[in-house]
């Protein structure tokens, strides 16, 4: 790395510093010798680098290599407490919040139920949820360097107003972003919830190492995230991936879709479609269950994947056909190398559902992307929010060129 890019000594030092910090994030504690080998730096230069980073408070000595062959050496690690970042996952039913340290470990979590809350209390809900996670981490709000908030829909960059999420009460005020900025002491970013699930899969899960993929999500709603050239594609108004509104064969056309907050694909394969499919296949009410759509759908799909025969096998077949119908349109336009199936109402189907969707998509689409089930299973939207906040925070905190 050293000497491969022209620039001032200060810039080269900063590049080497960041390379070493990234290696510590990836591998955990490393010795000076190991860092030197991985970066291509000489031992004296690696020693100077580590001394510089330790003086800046960015790395700490965590132990030695005692017990391994050869003389023991000090091990260096990221100073995880040098800064913290936070994420929020917002739905109509609750706000889930978490705080992570610089090493990526979650150090505090909190969940705030929000059903029945007054629509004008959104700022209070956000601050209460964040405060709960901060306290759980043993920190104060001032210790949080950056916050990323994930919501259904997207904030239109030209107006600052939330679009495509009429079911989220209180989040559509034209002054909301200004009010939140005034109430929170750190920079705040806003991102679509499904986009954040894709960030989690790209950084930590099934899409790691892939730069062109689609994530199809089914939970409270049906949506998608599109990653092109390693970057999220959000569209002109932030609405790229709002595929629940997509007209598809097998359902009537839905006009004024944003008012109806639905569309053909949502009606064909969204969580609310699973109980209807189950009834049509003769399953009894007690087999279908009751409650929120996402919970009922997930339980049905899980039982169907486990049984995989009779009406349950037919349910998986019909569901897979519905999912593949919408995916075929996306694949025809985007030609991704990978499709990640995510969200509780899809992940519950596991390999039996994935294999069926793959087979159906092979019949319906000209290109043949590989389908995988998402591997970030615990709070993927929240994890994506933390990863997004951490990425920007690390860029700022790890910049030693200033």
Which burial class, exposed, middle or buried, applies to 198 when counting CB atoms under 10 A from its CB (0-12, 13-18, 19+)?
Answer: buried
End-to-end CA separation in angstroms for the chain: 20
The predicted pLDDT at position 315 comes to 94
Question: Residue 142 class from Cβ within 10 Å (0-12 exposed, 13-18 middle, 19+ buried)?
Answer: exposed
- CB contact set of 262 (below 8 Å; sequence gap of 6+): 244, 245, 254, 270
Structure confidence at residue 221 (pLDDT): 87
In the predicted structure, residue 28 carries a pLDDT above the cut 70 = yes
Residue 270: exposure state from Cβ atoms within 10 A (0-12, 13-18, ≥19):
buried
Longest Cα–Cα distance of the chain, Å, equals 74
Which of 218, 173, 185 minimizes the C-alpha distance to 340? 218
Residues 6+ apart with CB under 8 A from 61: 54, 74, 75, 76
CATH number for the region 82-196+381-397 comes to: 3.30.420.40
Nearest to 87 by CA among 118, 123, 111: 111
Rounded-to-integer distance, Cα 20 and Cα 150, Å: 31
9-78 and 209-375 have identical folds = no
Q: What is the pLDDT of residue 2?
A: 47
209-375 CATH, one of 3.40.190.10, 3.40.50.1970, 3.20.20.80, 3.30.420.40: 3.30.420.40
To which H or E segment does residue 397 belong? Answer: helix 380-397
Residue 328 has pLDDT above 70, yes or no: yes
- Predicted confidence at residue 117, as pLDDT, reads 62
The rounded percent of the chain whose pLDDT value lies above 90 is 71
Q: How far is the CA of 394 from the CAs of 161, 196, 243, 298, 377, in angstroms?
A: 29, 18, 33, 36, 25
Average pLDDT, integer, range 76-84 = 95
Q: What is the overall mean pLDDT for the chain?
A: 90
Return the pLDDT at 104: 95
185: left (phi over 0), alpha (psi -120 to 50) or beta: alpha
Question: Got the DSSP string for 329-361?
Answer: HHHHHH--SEEEEESHHHHTTHHHHHHHHHHHH
H helix intervals, 114-189: 122-136, 176-183
Tokens of 84: 């913290």
**What's the CA gap between 349 and 194, in Å, rounded?**
19
| 85/159: higher pLDDT | 85
On the question of pLDDT at 67 being above 70, the answer is: no
157 SS3 class: coil
Q: Hey, what's the torsion of the CAs at 22, 2, 70, 23, to 10 degrees? A: 10
Q: Is the pLDDT of residue 402 over 70?
A: no
Mean pLDDT within 86-114: 95
- Domain borders along the chain are 9-78, 82-196+381-397, 209-375
What is the tens place of the pLDDT at every residue in 330-379? 999 999 999 999 999 999 999 999 999 999 999 999 998 999 999 999 99
What pLDDT score was predicted for residue 162? 87
Categorize the per-residue pLDDT at 120 as very low, low, confident or very high, splitting at 50, 70 and 90: low
Over residues 133-162, mean pLDDT: 92
Q: How confident is the model at residue 4 (pLDDT cuts 50, 70, 90)?
A: very low
Could you tell me the two tokens for 388?
């997004």
Whether the Cβ atoms of residue 75 and residue 64 lie closer than 8 Å to each other: yes
Least Cα distance to 197 among 221, 215, 222 occurs for 215
What is the pLDDT averaged over residues 226-253?
Answer: 91
Summarize the confidence of residues 126-142 as an average pLDDT: 96
pLDDT at 400: 75
The neighbouring-strand residues paired with 60 are 77
Its pTM stands at 0.91
Q: Is the pLDDT assigned to residue 138 strictly greater than 60?
A: yes
Q: Name the token pair of 290.
A: 């009751």
In this prediction, residues 167-190 reach a mean pLDDT of 91
The pLDDT-based confidence of 163 (bands split at 50, 70, 90) is confident
The closest of 273, 350, 359 to 306, measured between CA atoms, is: 350
Amino acid 342: pLDDT? 96
pLDDT for residue 66: 60
* Strand 370-373 relative to strand 338-342, pairing: parallel
- pLDDT at residue number 250: 85
CATH class for domain 9-78? mainly alpha
Residues 6+ positions from 130 with CB-CB distance below 8 Å:
86, 88, 97, 141, 144, 147, 184
User: Are 326 and 268 within 8 A, CB to CB?
Assistant: yes
Q: Could you tell me the pLDDT band of residue 254, with boundaries at 50, 70 and 90?
A: confident
Q: What is the pLDDT of residue 18?
A: 93
At residue 393, the pLDDT reads: 96
């Amino acid at each position: 790395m050293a000497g491969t890019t022209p620039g001032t000594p200060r810039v080269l030092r900063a590049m080497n510093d960041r390379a070493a910090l990234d290696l510590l994030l990836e591998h955990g504690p490393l010795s000076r010798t190991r860092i030197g080998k991985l970066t291509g730096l000489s031992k004296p230069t690696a020693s100077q680098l580590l001394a510089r980073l330790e003086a800046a408070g960015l790395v700490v000595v965590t132990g030695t290599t005692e017990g391994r062959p050869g003389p023991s050496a000090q091990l260096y690690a990221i100073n995880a407490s040098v800064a913290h970042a936070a994420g929020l996952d917002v739905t109509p039913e609750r706000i889930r919040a978490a705080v992570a340290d610089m090493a990526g470990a979650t150090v505090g979590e909190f969940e705030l139920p929000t059903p029945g809350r007054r629509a004008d209390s959104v700022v209070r809900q956000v601050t209460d949820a964040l405060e709960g996670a901060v306290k759980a981490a043993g920190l104060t709000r001032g210790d949080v360097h950056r916050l990323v908030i994930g919501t259904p829909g997207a904030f239109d960059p030209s107006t600052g107003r939330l679009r495509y999420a009429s079911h989220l009460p209180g989040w559509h005020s034209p002054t909301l972003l200004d009010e939140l900025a005034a109430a929170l002491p750190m920079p705040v970013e806003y991102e679509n919830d499904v986009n954040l699930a894709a960030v989690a899969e790209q950084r930590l899960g099934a899409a790691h190492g892939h730069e062109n993929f689609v994530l199809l999500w089914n939970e409270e709603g049906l949506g998608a995230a599109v990653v092109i050239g390693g970057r999220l594609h959000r569209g002109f108004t932030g609405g790229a991936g709002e595929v629940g509104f997509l007209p598809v064969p097998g359902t009537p056309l839905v006009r004024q879709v944003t008012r109806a907050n639905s569309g053909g694909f949502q009606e064909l394969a969204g969580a609310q479609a699973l109980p209807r499919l189950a009834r049509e296949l003769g399953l009894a009410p007690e087999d279908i269950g009751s409650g929120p759509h996402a919970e009922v759908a997930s339980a049905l799909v899980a039982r169907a994947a486990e049984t995989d025969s009779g009406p349950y096998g037919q349910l998986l077949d019909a569901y897979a056909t519905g999912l593949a119908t919408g995916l075929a349109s996306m694949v025809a336009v985007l030609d991704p190398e990978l499709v990640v199936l995510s969200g509780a109402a899809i992940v519950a189907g596991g390999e039996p559902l994935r294999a069926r969707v793959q087979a159906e998509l092979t019949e319906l689409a000209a290109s043949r992307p590989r389908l995988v089930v998402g591997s970030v299973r615990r709070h993927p939207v929240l994890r994506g929010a933390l990863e997004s906040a951490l990425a920007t925070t690390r860029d700022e905190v790890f910049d030693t060129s200033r």
